[in-house]
């Protein structure tokens, strides 16, 4: 028994170390500029936020430059005020123009630069989100944003590498990516989240049903066994009484 307990305790410690290692790697891999949420629908307007963590141990993030993709122009981009930061929007000409609600737009947003005031930089160990509203989102698979993150010590982190051909994230300097899903009602679900979420629920329901059925069968078997034992005892007692000789 003690040996089994020790083995179980050792297995738990190994599992815990593995979980910590996995989550540690995930945190390290995720410590770069991302766009949240990471999915939106084509044809509509999306509200997303560029999430910016400060990786430096000694310097603060004081400036952020986000360049929008050239191959998927966006006619309308607006920023949400971020306390302590100012936003400057740059535009570029496009030919042919982009059609927006039946109108031709010949100028689109090319870059947004956020700059911190004196004490508003993102300090080590902290992060800040920079929300924007943009659209109409093009009929493309994804939007790749190139980002330059400037630190107070003069260093710059360049998050500019696009995903690989198979869609996997590059090992170094990954650019934030917004995946675009088919518009709702275009023959595909608006998001893949609900379908994925239903599968564990169904599995859980099936498992609960199986457990309940097994429990019910076990109880029925126990009751039947007890009943059989009782009947057997009564029959044995009756047989003994019939077989006993009469008293003298």
- DSSP string for residues in 28-94: HHH-S-EEESSEEETTS-EEEEEEEE---SS--EEEEEEEPPSSS--SEEEE---TTEEEEEEEEEE
Q: Does residue 243 have a pLDDT over 80?
A: no
Residues in the chain, overall count? 248
Over residues 122-144, mean pLDDT: 95
Q: What is the DSSP letter of 224?
A: H
Can you read off the two tokens belonging to residue 12? Answer: 């738990």
Q: Does residue 153 have a pLDDT over 90?
A: yes
Lowest mean pLDDT among 3-7, 36-40, 55-59, 101-105: 3-7
Lowest mean pLDDT among 85-89, 101-105, 143-147: 101-105
- In tens, the pLDDT along 22-35 reads 444 343 345 799 99
Calpha distance 87→113 (Å, rounded): 6
103-116, strands of its sheet edge to edge: 85-100, 103-116, 61-67, 146-151, 156-159
Nearest to 177 by CA among 13, 4, 34, 10: 34
What pLDDT does residue 162 have?
94
Q: Does residue 242 have a pLDDT over 80?
A: no
What pLDDT does residue 51 have?
97
Q: Does residue 209 have a pLDDT over 90?
A: no
The pTM of the whole model exceeds 0.75: no
Return the beta strands (E) in the chain as ranges: 34-36, 39-41, 46-53, 61-67, 76-79, 85-100, 103-116, 127-135, 142-144, 146-151, 156-159, 177-181
- In tens, the pLDDT along 58-68 reads 999 999 999 99
Higher-scoring residue by pLDDT: 24, 53: 53
Question: Residue 243, CB half-sphere, CA atoms under 13 Å: how many?
Answer: 6
């Amino acid at each position: 028994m003690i040996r089994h307990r020790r083995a179980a305790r050792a297995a738990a410690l190994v599992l815990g170390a593995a979980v910590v290692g996995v989550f540690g790697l995930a945190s390290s891999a995720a410590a770069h500029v991302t766009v949240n949420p990471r999915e939106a629908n084509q044809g509509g307007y999306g509200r997303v936020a560029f999430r910016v963590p400060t990786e430096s141990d000694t310097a603060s993030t004081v400036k952020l430059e986000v360049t929008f993709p050239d191959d998927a122009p966006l006619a309308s981009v607006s920023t949400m005020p971020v306390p302590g930061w100012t936003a400057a929007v740059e535009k570029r000409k496009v030919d042919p123009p982009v059609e927006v609600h039946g109108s031709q737009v010949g100028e689109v947003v090319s870059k947004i630069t956020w700059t911190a005031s004196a004490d508003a930089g993102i300090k080590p160990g902290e992060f800040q989100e920079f929300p924007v509203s943009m659209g109409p989102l093009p009929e493309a698979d994804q939007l790749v944003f190139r980002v330059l993150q400037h630190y107070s010590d003069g260093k710059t982190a360049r998050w500019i590498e696009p995903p690989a051909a198979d869609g996997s994230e590059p090992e170094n300097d990954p650019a934030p990516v917004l995946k675009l899903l088919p518009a709702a009602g275009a023959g595909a679900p608006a998001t893949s989240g609900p379908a994925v979420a239903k599968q564990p629920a169904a599995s859980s329901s099936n498992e609960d049903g199986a457990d309940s059925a097994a429990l019910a069968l076990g109880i029925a078997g126990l009751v039947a066994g007890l009943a059989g034992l009782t009947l057997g005892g009564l029959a044995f007692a009756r047989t003994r009484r019939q077989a006993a000789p009469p008293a003298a």
